[in-house]
Amino acid sequence: AGSQSTSTIIRGMAVGDIEPHDLPKILWREFRVAILCGGTLALCNFAKLLVFDRIAAPVAAVVCLTLVCTVILSQLIGGLLPVIAEKLKVDPAVMASPLITTIVDTTTLLVYFNIARGLLKI
């Protein structure tokens, strides 16, 4: 999701459709897309975990809530980094997949463990 977002933003900046001052509009759009995508994935995954994998509902909820948060983080970070690079006069393409993946993976682990600790009381 983050790589897709970054590609879209970089393309928009390259053709002049997106400027750094458009950041709030960009983040709002990316957030809405992430909610729809993450929510759909989470609902399908929750049903699969309960029905086919016979996972306990609290564990399935942790996985699915983390999935939604991951997609949101990925979309927002993917939309934010190229704009920041542009403001810093750095090539926005530098903010491509590896950097976004590293940031999202790290934050997702933190989110996952915190959600698990909260929901599962561990």
Does domain 2-120 bear CATH number 1.10.357.20? yes
- Rounded Cα gap, residues 83 and 87, in angstroms: 6
- Residues 19-26 have a mean pLDDT of 90
Q: How confident is the model at residue 25 (pLDDT cuts 50, 70, 90)?
A: very high
Query: How confident is the model at residue 20, as a pLDDT?
Result: 87
CB contact at 8 A, 42 and 67: yes
Domain boundaries, the chain: 2-120
As a whole number of angstroms, the distance between CA 99 and CA 84 comes to 13
**DSSP label of 90:** S
Global pTM value: 0.89
Q: Is 23 or 42 the better-scoring residue by pLDDT?
A: 42
